[in-house]
Chains A and B, each alone.
Chain A
Amino acid sequence: MKSYFWFVAKRAVLLVAVIFFGVSATFFITHLSPISPVETALGRIMNQSSFSPDAIEEMRRVLTDLYGTDRPLLQQYLTFWQKLAAGDLGPSLIAFPTPAMTLVMQALPWTVVLLLVSTMITFAIGNLMGAMAGYFQDNIALKAFGVVAVVLQPIPYYVVAFVLLILFGFVWPVLPISGGYAMDVAPGFTLSFVQSVLMHAILPAASLVLVGFGSWFLGMRALVSTVVTEDFVTYAELAGVRNSTIMGGYVIRNALIPQVTGLAMSLGAVFSGTIITEQVFNYPGLGSLLIDAVFGGDYALVLAVSTISIAAVGIAIFIVDLLYPLIDPRVKAE
């Protein structure tokens, strides 16, 4: 038990280091951006009407001062950590002076719910079917399913999403195609709101599942097909243990570890959002927020989204690492 404690402690230190270096790297990468938040803000303002050029010059000076973009990079870096330590990610520059965190929190629930649900469904379907296909390698139905998975998987996600949109929004218009919920329901924990949210999530979620399950399927199928050739499976078969028990008890358990690792890492995608889903279905979420932030030169916002994403992925990997020795007894906690 003591050794396990040290194992956890070491991993925890590593976790903190990963977050620190990850966020620092992102800080410097985002500040490399040639897009100036002051110029994009000015662009938005100036495009609206006819300002005299000397007024614009003055506005540029005021905004630069306000956004603090002219300060030395190292100073900005230190201020960033100081503020972050206090839980503040600074004001967003595309929606100055709204805190970047406020914008993130507005988009986060949509993305997290949509992606967590569809990732879990995808993971479940893909692995279950993949395990079966790997074990019962001669089953025709499972082979057919495999072909479907293989054929669906490479289709560019944009096309899958768009075909769903055209089918259920245009050819047979039965599902809503824009937004997170209908305009005439008030947000809140009411039946009509939840219903509306579910209806609006069907197409985005379906598109994600359709495209996503293939890689889990193929991965699991490959893993299981190596595990089934191992001696203990042959012994079990010779001993007359039922197929379902072999599969559930030995095979999947052995093959699941890499898949769970994969799941932990795909959480990163959960927090950076799905840009194309949001674009095709006009769905609210972090993806388009991130795009707007990058295009607007709003490094505060890019950093806010990235920091959350880095922390989430780091923690997920940390948890999986802790679980390794528990799932697979052959792996020692070291």
Chain B
Amino acid sequence: MFAVLRDLIRYNAEFAIGLVLVLSIIIFAMLSVFNPVDARLIFTTIPDQPPSAEFWFGTNSRGQDMFWQLSEAFRNSLMFGLTVAVISRILSISVGLLSGYIGGWTDRILMFINDIFVAIPIFPVLVLFYFVLRSDMNAVTLAFIMACLGWPYDARLIRSVALGLKHREFTRHAVFAGMSTRKILLEEHLPFVMPIVFSTFMNNMLWSIGLEVTLAVLGLTDINTPTIGTVLYWANSHSAMVVGVWWWIVIPVVLTALTFLGMFLLAVSTNEYIDPRSRLRRMGV
């Protein structure tokens, strides 16, 4: 495992860059543990200071040090996105592969449930949950709700790939060889859907974080907890862009972009590693 990692870093620049980016962001987010002040407090420092040696990321109009605010925000948002993505991946892989492989009534029932979830408009549902739960609507609850809403789209995608796999030679061979369904799905089919799982994993994180931003920008989350969304919410409610407090928006945006660029590079290079034919092709054999 360690050797693999070393090889990847040495021979694959994309992997190395991706790793550096993702690790940096993770370390940055982890630093929030050392935040000297409660991130929910306002006017703990001089407001509206541009980035400087004292305030690396500047301070916002609420008198908060943006370095620590963003550190907490990234920790919260990334944890949130990961939770949603992991839970909804488990759901979508199980449903997608089962439905595609077994077919028949299982497929019909699963896809029926799937289609209902796809069809129900998510946004009003989330807003209503907010009003019903009120102060109980914290990040964890929201993550579970969104995970429950975020799987069907990808389950459909995975199923459509699995449908193709079912009729392939190697599946028939596996069945003839007496492999159990569970084994066929996990060992034969799962590797084929892994690239799509990786890309949907990132898409799903983006989707959940994006939806959190939308809810936050509208003031429909716990706006006193720092997240990428609430940072933007407060910047917006202080007209940061039009009055020139640019660092309040530019820095979180750059950090977000770097995070996902890093994850993308990791995903791409790992995909290539998983699929040996692709690696050989790359080497020009």
Contacts and interface: CB of A to CB of B under 8 A. Distances in A.
A–B direct touch in complex (beta carbons closer than 8 A): yes
A258 interface: yes
Contact of B157 (A163, A228, A261, A313): A261
- Dominant secondary structure of chain A at its interface with chain B: helix
Contacts of A158: 213-214, 217, 232, 236
Contacts of B104: 334
A316 to B, nearest CB: 9
Contact of B160 (A226, A228, A258): A258
Contacts of B116: 18, 21-22, 25
Interface stretch (B44-52, B85-93, B119-127, B175-183): B119-127
Interface in B71-109: 103-104, 108
B225 interface: no
Interface in B189-217: 192, 195-196, 198-200, 202-203, 206, 209-210, 213-214, 217
Contacts of B123: 272, 275, 290
B253 A261 contact: no
A140 to B, nearest CB: 13
A155 B250 CA distance: 10
B124 A222 contact: no
A317 B128 contact: no
Interface string B226-250: 0011001000100001100000010
The size bracket of the interface on A is 35 or more
A306 B249 CA distance: 34
A19 B124 contact: no
A155 B120 contact: no
Which of B103, B121, B123, B206 gathers the greatest number of chain A CB atoms within 10 Å?
A: B121
Contacts of A151: 257, 260-261
Contact of A147 (B132, B210, B261): B261
Contact of A317 (B118, B125, B282): B118
Contacts of B112: 14, 17-18
The size bracket of the interface on B is 35 or more
A306 B124 contact: yes
Contacts of B202: 218
Interface string A275-292: 110010000000000110
Interface of B: 103-104, 108, 111-112, 115-116, 118-125, 127-128, 131-132, 152-153, 156-157, 160-161, 163-164, 167, 192, 195-196, 198-200, 202-203, 206, 209-210, 213-214, 217-218, 228-229, 232, 236, 241-242, 249, 253, 256-257, 259-261, 264, 271, 275, 277-278, 281-282
Interface of A: 10, 14, 17-19, 21-22, 25-26, 29-30, 32-35, 137-138, 147, 150-159, 162-163, 166, 170, 215, 218-219, 221-223, 225-226, 228-229, 257-258, 261-262, 265, 268, 271-272, 275-276, 279, 290-291, 293-294, 302, 305-306, 309-310, 313-314, 317, 324, 328, 330-332, 334
